[in-house]
Homo-oligomer: A and B are copies of this chain.
Amino acid sequence: MINVGIAGYGYWGPNLARAVGEAGNARLVMVADRDENACARAAQRHPTVRTTRDIGAMIDDPAVDAVMIATPVSTHFPLALAALRAGKHVLVEKPMADRPDHAATLVDEAARRKLVLMVDHTFVYTGAVQKIAEIVETGQLGDIYYYDSTRVNLGLFQRDVNVIWDLAVHDFAIMDRIFVSQPVAISAGAAGFLDGSPENMAHLSVYYDDGAMAHLNVNWLAPVKIRQTLIGGSRLMVIYDDMQTSEKVKIYDRGAANGADPYERMVSYRLGEMRAPVISTKEALVTEMQEFMRCIETGTRPITDGESGLRVVELLAAGARSCAMRGRPVELALPKVA
């Protein structure tokens, strides 16, 4: 049984607290939040759990094996670092940190201490993304040609972070999960239409080393909510529509036809059947918790490990730099081969 402490009991912390209880082999023992009211809410809902306003004390408490961090982004780095230094396994909210160097420091610290460092990229644990990853990994999709995502809605304007750090982070995490090839450059543009608010609309293009391309359309000021991703492969194509209650993933046996005659004016194409596979409806957050506990117990690496969190932060930071230059591409360093 793994004893868990949660830092931050605002919007997301209560979800983590509930999911810890449903994971099976973990137990919530402490909740820390600087806000007295947050502590009171935690105490009411989890009467057997200790609460404290001193996050540092919780991190150092010997009764805590693993720390989950659901505080504002700017505090992820110092709190996660302190927890690792205290010998605790760490699950940190996305984005993992506000700067790539901070994220890299966390990765190094966890590696040196052989602790589990995991990022809460929840989408990666949904039945839909798991199914897409399976189609890619088994070779059914063929080479990924492109990933094209629209993630827009109305009404989640935030003041302390722009739309890229809020919404694009989801796609970067999914892309990190399913792409085999490496991103080499990013070009992005953004606009903000409300005084005193950060950018609320952005378009980001990511170039991969094998010629593939990804694009993200994120917007807080759209008339309707759209969560739709097209994925083009050399063998199949996929539409992932998260707004559908059923049939979230549709797989099309479509594409350009093999053996297209170069002398024809038009390339011919293939229009085969579509199928919507059965998707697991298990709650993603519970799957993720179980993955975290399994990694702690077996000493293995989670799917959304610290390196994954670091790569996502590098894309976010590079995307923000490109936006400031109206799309001028920012090159991404390829990972060194081990």
B221 contacts A145, CB within 8 Å? yes
Quote the shortest CB–CB distance from A245 to chain B (angstroms).
8
B205 contacts A327, CB within 8 Å? yes
Quote the shortest CB–CB distance from A167 to chain B (angstroms).
14
Among B194, B267, B277, contact of A256 (Cβ-Cβ < 8 Å): B194
Give chain B residues whose Cβ lies under 8 Å from the Cβ of A273.
275-278
Which among A21-29, A247-255, A282-290 touches the partner chain? A247-255
B234 contacts A193, CB within 8 Å? yes
Among B148, B221, B239, contact of A219 (Cβ-Cβ < 8 Å): B148
What are the interface flags for A100-138 relative to B under an 8 Å C-beta threshold, 1 for contact and 0 otherwise? Answer: 000000000000000000000000000000000000000
Give chain B residues whose Cβ lies under 8 Å from the Cβ of A246.
224
Can you report 24 A-B residue pairs in the complex whose CB atoms are below 8 A from each other? A145-B191, A146-B193, A146-B221, A159-B264, A159-B265, A159-B267, A187-B326, A191-B207, A193-B232, A197-B267, A201-B232, A219-B232, A221-B256, A223-B239, A223-B274, A224-B239, A224-B246, A224-B252, A271-B278, A272-B278, A273-B276, A273-B277, A328-B328, A328-B329
Across the A-B interface, the 7 shortest Cβ-Cβ residue pairs: A187-B327, A157-B267, A223-B237, A223-B252, A275-B275, A191-B213, A155-B269
**Interfacial residues, chain A to chain B (CB-CB below 8 A):** 145-146, 148, 150, 152, 154-160, 185, 187, 189, 191, 193-194, 196-197, 201, 203, 205, 207, 211-213, 215, 217, 219, 221-225, 230, 232, 234, 237-239, 243, 245-247, 250, 252, 254-256, 260, 262, 264-269, 271-278, 322, 325-329
